A and B are shown apart, each in its own frame.
Chain A
Amino acid sequence: DGGITQSPKYLFRKEGQNVTLSCEQNLNHDAMYWYRQDPGQGLRLIYYSQIVNDFQKGDIAEGYSVSREKKESFPLTVTSAQKNPTAFYLCASSSQWGGTGNFYEQYFGPGTRLTVT
């Protein structure tokens, strides 16, 4: 079955530690995205990648880093510089970078809930 996997589902870390969240897709999609979801805040874009070896900052990139060495994988590192890292993190992918002119569907993974204490 094609889809997006995120692991683990729940992650606990101590303050001051970096943590990497995994995102893998087997949909052969070029574009991948990381969102953060907080209660009552909706989804906010952290980073996105239109193609392998390229990625761009989203609206709230501070304290996060990503890499895109393979088409299938787009890991997100939450660094100790992120002031409020506890949140639900969602990874998504789409077959192309849609812009406004084209229809495209973003497919979402099941999410990782990160708790930092």
Chain B
Amino acid sequence: GEDVEQSLFLSVREGDSSVINCTYTDSSSTYLYWYKQEPGAGLQLLTYIFSNMDMKQDQRLTVLLNKKDKHLSLRIADTQTGDSAIYFCAESKRPNQAGTALIFGKGTTLSVSS
């Protein structure tokens, strides 16, 4: 199938690290994306990784990609209450199929307690 799988909930304490995991199915995906959605708002691109990379770091964010296992993770260091949101993993779709350009997972709701 074409599902992008994510766990639905993650709860952490302020200051801890958060790790959100995602598995995808399309081995031809060139780019993989993490989007963030704050309550009642649209989605914003948080970060992305090119498929020939294993890791990408951007300030408090670290993206790890295991292409063999089709596993993507997003680590947020020193998690803050402002990081509470829904995080979506997304992959690109093969161009010879009609329909979705990006396939989104169902989203992981991150809850940060102080």
Q: Distance (Å) between the CB of A31 and the closest chain B CB?
A: 8
A58 at the interface (CB under 8 A from B): yes
The answer to whether B100 and A105 have CB atoms under 8 Å apart is no
**Mask: chain A, 35-66; 1 = CB below 8 Å from B; 0 = not:** 00000111101001000000011110000000
The answer to whether B42 and A103 have CB atoms under 8 Å apart is no
The answer to whether A100 and B42 have CB atoms under 8 Å apart is no
Cα distance, A59 to B45, chains bound together (Å): 22
**Mask: chain B, 80-110; 1 = CB below 8 Å from A; 0 = not:** 0000000010001111001111101111000
Cα distance, A94 to B90, chains bound together (Å): 15
Q: Given the interface contacts A59-B99, A99-B92, A100-B93, does A111 sit within 8 Å of B106 by beta carbon? A: no
Contact of A48 among B101, B105, B107 (CB under 8 A): B101
CB-based nearest A residue for B8: A40
Contact of B42 among A41, A48, A58, A111 (CB under 8 A): A111
Q: Given the interface contacts A42-B107, A100-B29, does A106 sit within 8 Å of B88 by beta carbon? A: no
